[in-house]
């Protein structure tokens, strides 16, 4: 392997749900490396880590395969990127091994780096990494998240690290197809964040002042998945349990913090941490009704049999189905966790109203930053799976007009724009 790395820049679209890697290699664009041969699309690597024990780790599609082969023993981590701005989330332990959030992300980035170096035949120490327009609305949390992300990239062995907002990357990619100047709003929807950029685009060389506004929010696909659990499905796992501790007259209900973990795909794995697990055992002992005790039994099966991941996969499938149908059937057939529910697009939209409102506010801020009205936007370019949720798409149609909406590959536009950013470097 060539020891020189100065002629290669790795472009990394590190996503909450999926990650892609391309490169500017000896002046040539490498659009998407086939990093995950086990995946149906080898260029698309699911952002998953599976630890059967503290000394072994598997990634992407292989993480799921090994997880199933090992009877779902060990720890499977998904959506861990979403923890970056949360100062109270320090990480986790696996068999006494402490893993900070920077370590979890760093381990994943290091694997992306190793596989890329093998394919390209060169050592690489320079990375351009996509980042959300906002990790958090809180300025301190935003800075904290970026600091952690930088530490994770250093852990992976990168010496030169640059971050490019994901909506700006998507805009740089789209800009390559334009024949004349237009003002474009880019909406990039991932698993963890919704990001927006307004910029002037033209065939002319890119200038920093072409970027008129960048904003976003930390709600997207995972948040939409969570509403199915929080609004209905968590009831069968003891979400409304009432209990009374020994020697106490106080009637208690399940703590919000516990339910927050149950409802979110990024947090549910932490229900198995010792303190939380022991607390839930006490709640079951002190539950007032046999019905609640049986529901908590279901929760323990969900945790002990490692069924949280496939359960949320079925939620994701149901959500996608509602993009094309007015109703969708949720079916989960694991023994003692059997669940069958029908969801409607109408109730999904109602449950997601706060999420839609938060996304709309981010668009407003982006327009205000750009000092532009909706009517002054020439094109709206949407990318990412969440952009195809009907009530999200209708928000853009109502605000900007159907005729202005454009679309492209769900997964590759940000990556292509990151490579473009590498090419634009002096």
Claim to verify: residue 75 and residue 132 sit in the same structural domain: yes
Claim to verify: residue 150 and residue 19 sit in the same structural domain: yes
Domain annotation covers residue 110: yes
CA atoms 316, 321, 322, 328: torsion sign: negative
Domain annotation covers residue 3: no
Claim to verify: residue 26 and residue 128 sit in the same structural domain: yes
What's the count of helices (H) and strands (E) in the chain, helices before strands? 13, 20
With pLDDT > 90 as the criterion, what percentage of the chain qualifies? 61
Indicate if the pLDDT at residue 33 is higher than 50: yes
Claim to verify: residue 53 and residue 92 sit in the same structural domain: yes
Write the DSSP string, 353-405: HHHHHHHHHHHHHHHHHHT--GGG--EEEEESGGGGSHHHHHHHHHHH-GGGE
More confident: 273 or 29: 29
Whole-number pLDDT of residue 5: 47
H or E segment and range at residue 99 = strand 97-100
- Residue range 5-32: mean pLDDT, rounded: 89
Indicate if the pLDDT at residue 4 is higher than 60: no
Domain annotation covers residue 172: no
Angle of helix 221-231 relative to helix 353-370, nearest 10 degrees, comes to 150
Claim to verify: residue 44 and residue 129 sit in the same structural domain: yes
Backbone phi, then psi, for 243, in 5-degree steps?
-145, 160
Maximum average pLDDT range among 88-92, 270-274, 347-351? 347-351
Indicate if the pLDDT at residue 398 is higher than 60: yes
Domain annotation covers residue 174: no
Q: How far apart are CA 151 and CA 167, in angstroms?
A: 23
Virtual torsion, Cα 401, 357, 228, 308, nearest 10 deg: 110
More confident: 106 or 69: 106
- 168-216 tens-digit pLDDT: 888 788 777 777 888 999 888 888 889 898 988 877 777 888 889 989 9
Domain annotation covers residue 1: no
Decide: 62 and 39 in contact? Cβ < 8 Å.
Answer: no
Claim to verify: residue 48 and residue 130 sit in the same structural domain: yes
Closest CA to 128 of 155, 164, 157, 156: 164
Whole-number pLDDT of residue 193: 86
Of 335, 351, 367, which one is at a domain's C-terminal end?
351
Indicate if the pLDDT at residue 297 is higher than 80: yes
Whole-number pLDDT of residue 351: 97
Indicate if the pLDDT at residue 288 is higher than 60: yes
Indicate if the pLDDT at residue 1 is higher than 70: no
Whole-number pLDDT of residue 375: 95
- Residue range 141-152: mean pLDDT, rounded: 94
Decide: 131 and 166 in contact? Cβ < 8 Å.
Answer: yes
Q: Give the total number of structural domains in the chain.
A: 3
Decide: 89 and 132 in contact? Cβ < 8 Å.
Answer: no
- Residue range 61-89: mean pLDDT, rounded: 87
Residue 91's CB: how many other CB atoms inside 10 A? Answer: 14
Claim to verify: residue 15 and residue 147 sit in the same structural domain: yes
Claim to verify: residue 44 and residue 137 sit in the same structural domain: yes
Structural domain of residue 210, as residue ranges? 179-222+355-408
Claim to verify: residue 40 and residue 55 sit in the same structural domain: yes
Claim to verify: residue 147 and residue 69 sit in the same structural domain: yes
Indicate if the pLDDT at residue 326 is higher than 60: yes
Claim to verify: residue 264 and residue 188 sit in the same structural domain: no
Decide: 360 and 229 in contact? Cβ < 8 Å.
Answer: no
Of 326, 351, 376, which one is at a domain's C-terminal end?
351
Q: How far apart are CA 396 and CA 199, in angstroms?
A: 17
Grade residue 229 by pLDDT with cuts at 50, 70 and 90: very high
Whole-number pLDDT of residue 407: 64
Domain annotation covers residue 370: yes
Write the DSSP string, 239-303: TT-EE--TT----EE--HHHHHHHH-TTTGGGGGSHHHHHHHHHHHHHBSSHHHHHHHHHHHHHH
Q: What is the pTM of this model?
A: 0.74
Grade residue 408 by pLDDT with cuts at 50, 70 and 90: low
Closest CA to 89 of 71, 101, 99: 101
Whole-number pLDDT of residue 133: 81
Claim to verify: residue 142 and residue 20 sit in the same structural domain: yes
CATH number of 85's domain: 3.30.420.40
Domain annotation covers residue 173: no
- Residue range 42-56: mean pLDDT, rounded: 93
Of 351, 367, 393, which one is at a domain's C-terminal end?
351
Question: 45: left (phi > 0), else alpha (psi -120 to 50), else beta?
Answer: beta
Domain annotation covers residue 2: no
Strand partners, 98: 93
Decide: 44 and 36 in contact? Cβ < 8 Å.
Answer: yes
């Amino acid at each position: 392997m060539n020891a020189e790395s100065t002629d290669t820049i790795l472009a990394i679209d590190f996503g909450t749900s999926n990650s892609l890697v391309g490169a500017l290699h000896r002046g040539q664009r490498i659009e998407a490396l086939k990093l995950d041969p086990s995946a149906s699309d080898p260029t698309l690597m699911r952002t998953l880590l599976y630890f059967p024990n503290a000394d072994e780790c598997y990634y992407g599609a292989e993480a799921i395969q090994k997880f199933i082969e090992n009877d779902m023993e060990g720890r499977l981590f998904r959506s861990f990127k979403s923890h970056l701005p949360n100062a109270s989330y320090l990480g986790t332990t696996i068999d006494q091994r402490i893993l900070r959030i920077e370590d979890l992300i760093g381990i994943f980035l290091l694997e992306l780096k190793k596989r890329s170096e093998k394919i390209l035949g060169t050592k690489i120490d320079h990375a351009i990494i996509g980042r959300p327009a906002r990790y958090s609305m809180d300025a301190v949390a935003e800075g904290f998240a970026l600091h952690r992300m930088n530490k994770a990239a250093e852990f992976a062995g990168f010496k030169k690290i640059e971050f490019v907002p994901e909506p700006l990357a998507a805009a740089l990619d789209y800009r390559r197809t334009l024949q004349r100047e237009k003002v474009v709003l880019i909406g990039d929807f991932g698993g963890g964040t919704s990001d927006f950029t307004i910029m002037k685009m033209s065939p002319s060389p890119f200038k920093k002042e072409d970027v008129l506004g960048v904003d976003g929010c930390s709600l997207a696909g995972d948040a939409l998945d969570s509403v199915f659990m929080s609004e209905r499905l968590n009831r069968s796992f003891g979400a409304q349990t009432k209990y009374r501790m020994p020697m106490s007259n106080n009637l208690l209900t399940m703590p919000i913090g516990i339910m927050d973990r149950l409802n979110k795909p990024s947090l549910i794995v932490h229900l198995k941490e010792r303190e939380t697990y022991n607390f839930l055992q006490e709640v079951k002992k002190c539950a007032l009704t046999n019905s609640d005790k049986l529901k908590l039994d279901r929760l323990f099966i969900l945790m002990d049999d490692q069924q949280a991941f496939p359960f949320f996969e079925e939620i994701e499938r149901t959500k996608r189905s509602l993009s094309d149908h007015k109703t969708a059937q949720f079916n989960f057939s694991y023994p003692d966790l059997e669940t069958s529910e029908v969801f409607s697009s109408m109730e999904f939209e109602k449950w997601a109203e706060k999420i839609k409102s938060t996304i709309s506010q981010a668009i407003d801020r982006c327009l205000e930053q750009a000092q532009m009205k909706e009517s002054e936007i020439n094109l709206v370019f949407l990318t990412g799976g969440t952009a195809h949720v009907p009530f999200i798409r209708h928000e853009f149609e109502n605000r900007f007009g159907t005729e202005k909406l454009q679309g492209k590959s769900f997964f590759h536009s940000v990556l292509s724009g990151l490579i473009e950013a590498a090419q634009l470097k002096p």
